């Protein structure tokens, strides 16, 4: 990886900001981000980009008559540190007592805190780029048009606090996604993968799966709207379940305005959500899905607090054996609600005990149903039921007697992810996946294939 060290080392910036601080307590977060990407469409590379970003956030914590308030300021690049600290302190001075106030944690130093941040560049995509010309040639000869996107980023977080915390974490994030469309406009399919480093990501494997699905689509079948048995492969399960995760905020549930609100007050923690013994959890140490093992945030919200910066993150069970176990609370909120602290973690895993079937095995055991390989434009319709609407895209297939017999027109669906868990009649093995709709925001997920009865296809979409 190339490195052009034209900015001061991140750890020195963090220390300088702490030194300039005049507030009672101070938190500094420096994020070093480098990114590289290539886009392609109409069987040609179209655009590309490389960039280097640095964001410096200072959180000033002031104490007035024993009450804590916080103020935040963030600047990119190489900011005037004194101006930045003063801006954060001015914001803290204007702020009322913080409802999320808690004591900063002490200690915890990473030995690599003073190391420079690694950078990525386009060379990490050489394998993809080297394969694209051949892939485009093969696509043209098959009257297929390819489009897609490959990207890689390295984000290094430096967290330093006036209470002695010095943490550093390097988060690699990559993805490759590609869709193919037949010249007749009737056939299309999509495949995508999340990766840390593109090791083992073979374009040939991608092409092969894309072609398998396009072959399935040689036969087109028109079906009406209605309720169908469906198989949802891991990527589409990820697109729905990450929406559930995004709603799992304890305070919102207590306020009575989410699917996790208990009628009459409180939350549904402890309630059985599904008869299948699903486990939905996050774990910073999960292999291939590793993510930051400590809280790092430059702004507070109902589930995360700037006062919690540096607090360790561990495996968190959101649903255990089908029972809602945790909702997200920062430390102050957890104390107020007599709940467990649970901050958002940047990965998500859904599994069921003993589930080992592959998607192909589940296809083989299907009498009649739809295979949904790609969902799109998913939005919340009703917060009370977490009803989501969205569309199928680039890959709905009919399964009959264990075989895929053709592609089916697209549908608009209306479904709730919690209902999908409740109605799942079979669960496959859990594997790393990448959601078409949400993968750009939830890169690190592992999900099983689900068989769901009575999936609500609300109307037919003429899009193809």
Partner 1 sequence: MSSNSSLDRALVSSLSSAALERASALGASEASVRVEEIHAQYVTLRDGVLETTVDDTTIGMGVRVVNNGSVGFAATVDLSSRAASHITQQAVDSASRVASARSGAFELVSEPGHGEVNWTSPFRIDPTSVPLAEKLELLSDWSRRLLNAPGVSHVSARVLAVTEYKHYVDSSGTTAAQKRVRIHPALDLVAIGDDGDFETMRTIAPPVGRGWEYLLGDGWDWEDELARLPELLVQKLKSPSVEPGRYDLVIDPTNLWLTIHESIGHATELDRALGYEAAYAGTSFATPDQLGTLKYGSSIMQVTGDRTAEHGLASIGIDDEGVEAQSFDLIRDGVLVGYQLDRSTAAVAGYNRSNGCAYGDSPLHLPIQRMANVSLAPGASDGPSTQDLICGVERGLFIEGDKSWSIDMQRYNFQFTGQRFFRIENGVITGQVRDAAYQATTTDFWGSMEAVGGESTYLLCGAFNCGKAQPSQVASVSHGCPSALVRNVSILNARAEAGQ
Q: Which of residues 17-36 bind partner 1 (CB under 8 A)?
A: 35
Contacts 24+ apart (CB under 8 A), 388-392: 388/240, 388/243, 388/414, 388/415, 388/416, 388/417, 389/413, 389/414, 389/458, 390/239, 390/437, 391/461, 391/463, 392/461
Is 202 among the residues that bind partner 1 (CB under 8 A)? no
Q: Which of 309, 416, 445, 449 binds partner 1 (CB under 8 A)?
A: 416
- Map the footprint of partner 1 across residues 98-127, applying CB under 8 A: 98-100, 121-122
- Complex with partner 1: residue 62 or 349, whichever CB lies closer: 62
Is 322 among the residues that bind partner 1 (CB under 8 A)? no
C-alpha distances in Å from residue 297, one per residue of 68, 71, 344, 425: 18, 13, 11, 39
Q: Which of 19, 63, 78, 285 binds partner 1 (CB under 8 A)?
A: 78
**Residue 61 CB, nearest distance to partner 1 (Å)?**
13
**Residue 302 CB, nearest distance to partner 1 (Å)?**
7
Query: Structure tokens of 425?
Result: 């009649």
Strand 387-392 relative to strand 323-324, pairing: unpaired
Report the interhelical angle of 10-20 vs 81-94 (nearest 10°): 50
Sign of CA dihedral 411, 412, 415, 417: positive
Q: Could you say which DSSP state residue 118 is in?
A: P
**Residue 249 CB, nearest distance to partner 1 (Å)?**
11
Is 96 among the residues that bind partner 1 (CB under 8 A)? yes
**Considering CB under 8 A, how many residues would be counted as binding partner 1?**
103
**Distance separating alpha carbons of residues 310 and 379, to the nearest angstrom:** 33
- Complex with partner 1: residue 148 or 172, whichever CB lies closer: 148
- Candidates 369, 356, 337; CA nearest to 454 is 369
- Complex with partner 1: residue 69 or 316, whichever CB lies closer: 69
- Complex with partner 1: residue 304 or 349, whichever CB lies closer: 304
C-alpha distances in Å from residue 103, one per residue of 110, 306, 308, 407: 20, 11, 8, 57
Is 463 among the residues that bind partner 1 (CB under 8 A)? yes
Residues 6 or more apart in contact with residue 399 via CB below 8 angstroms: 231, 363, 366, 368, 369, 370, 371, 405
- Map the footprint of partner 1 across residues 366-395, applying CB under 8 A: 376-385, 387, 389-391, 393-394
**Residue 464 CB, nearest distance to partner 1 (Å)?**
7
**Residue 141 CB, nearest distance to partner 1 (Å)?**
14
Q: What angle do CA 89, 95, 99 make, to 5 degrees?
A: 120
- Complex with partner 1: residue 116 or 384, whichever CB lies closer: 384
**Residue 5 CB, nearest distance to partner 1 (Å)?**
10
Is 220 among the residues that bind partner 1 (CB under 8 A)? no
Q: Could you say which DSSP state residue 116 is in?
A: P
Print the binding letters for residues 181-200 with partner 1: x by CB under 8 A, - otherwise: x--------x----------
- Complex with partner 1: residue 132 or 398, whichever CB lies closer: 132
C-alpha distances in Å from residue 374, one per residue of 239, 425, 427, 434: 9, 20, 18, 10
- Complex with partner 1: residue 163 or 385, whichever CB lies closer: 385
Q: Which of 129, 221, 269, 321 binds partner 1 (CB under 8 A)?
A: 129
- Map the footprint of partner 1 across residues 41-60, applying CB under 8 A: 41-54
Is 464 among the residues that bind partner 1 (CB under 8 A)? yes
Query: Structure tokens of 27?
Result: 């938190």
C-alpha distances in Å from residue 214, one per residue of 137, 255, 408: 17, 48, 12
- Map the footprint of partner 1 across residues 157-176, applying CB under 8 A: none
**Distance separating alpha carbons of residues 220 and 213, to the nearest angstrom:** 12
Is 141 among the residues that bind partner 1 (CB under 8 A)? no
- Complex with partner 1: residue 10 or 357, whichever CB lies closer: 10
Could you tell me which stretch among 74-82, 105-113, 204-212, 288-296 binds partner 1 (CB under 8 A)? 74-82
Q: How many alpha carbons lie under 13 Å from residue 157 in its C-beta half-sphere?
A: 20
**Residue 103 CB, nearest distance to partner 1 (Å)?**
19
- Map the footprint of partner 1 across residues 239-268, applying CB under 8 A: 251, 255-257, 261-265
C-alpha distances in Å from residue 360, one per residue of 56, 192, 434: 48, 17, 18
- Complex with partner 1: residue 156 or 302, whichever CB lies closer: 302
- Map the footprint of partner 1 across residues 283-302, applying CB under 8 A: 298-302
């Amino acid at each position: 990886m190339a490195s052009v060290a034209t900015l001061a080392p991140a750890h020195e910036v963090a220390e300088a900001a702490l030194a300039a601080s005049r507030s009672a307590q101070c938190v500094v977060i420096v994020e070093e981000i480098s990114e590289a990407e290539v886009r392609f469409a109409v069987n040609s590379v179209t655009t590309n980009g490389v960039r280097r970003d640095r964001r410096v956030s200072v959180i000033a914590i002031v104490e007035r008559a024993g009450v804590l308030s916080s103020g935040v300021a963030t600047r990119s690049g190489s900011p005037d540190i004194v101006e930045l600290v003063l801006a954060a302190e001015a914001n803290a001075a204007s702020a009322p007592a913080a409802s999320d106030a808690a004591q900063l944690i002490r200690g915890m130093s990473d030995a690599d805190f003073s190391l420079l941040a690694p950078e990525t560049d386009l060379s990490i995509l050489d394998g993809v780029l080297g394969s694209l010309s051949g892939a485009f040639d093969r696509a043209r000869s098959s009257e297929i048009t390819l489009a897609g996107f490959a990207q890689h980023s390295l984000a290094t977080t430096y967290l330093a606090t006036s209470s002695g915390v010095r943490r550093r974490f390097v988060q690699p994030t990559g993805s490759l996604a590609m869709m193919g469309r037949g010249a007749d406009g009737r056939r299309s399919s999509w495949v995508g993968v999340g990766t840390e480093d593109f090791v083992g990501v073979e374009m040939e494997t991608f092409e092969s799966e894309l072609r398998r699905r396009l072959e399935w689509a040689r036969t087109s079948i028109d079906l009406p709207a209605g309720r169908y048995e469906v198989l949802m492969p891991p990527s589409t399960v990820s697109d729905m379940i990450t929406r559930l995760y995004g709603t799992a905020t304890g305070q919102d549930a207590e306020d009575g305005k989410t699917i996790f609100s208990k009628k009459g007050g409180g939350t549904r923690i402890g309630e059985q959500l599904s008869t299948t013994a699903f486990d939905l959890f996050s774990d910073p140490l999960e292999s291939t899905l590793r993510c930051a093992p400590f809280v790092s945030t430059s702004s507070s919200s109902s589930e995360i607090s700037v006062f919690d910066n540096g607090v360790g993150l561990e495996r968190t069970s959101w649903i255990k054996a089908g029972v809602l176990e945790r909702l997200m609370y920062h430390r102050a909120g957890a104390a107020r609600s007599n709940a467990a602290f649970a901050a958002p973690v940047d990965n998500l895993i859904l599994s069921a005990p003993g589930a080992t079937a592959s998607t192909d095995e589940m296809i083989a055991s299907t009498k009649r149903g739809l295979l949904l390989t790609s969902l799109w434009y998913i939005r919340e319709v009703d917060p009370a039921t977490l009803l989501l609407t969205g569309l199928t895209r680039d890959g709905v297939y009919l399964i009959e007697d264990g075989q895929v017999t053709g592609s089916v027109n697209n549908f608009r669906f209306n479904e709730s992810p919690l209902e999908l868990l409740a109605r799942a009649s079979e669960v496959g093995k859990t594997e790393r996946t990448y959601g078409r709709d949400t993968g750009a925001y939830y890169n690190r997920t592992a999900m099983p294939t689900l068989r769901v009865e009575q999936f609500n296809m609300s109307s037919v979409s003429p899009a193809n």
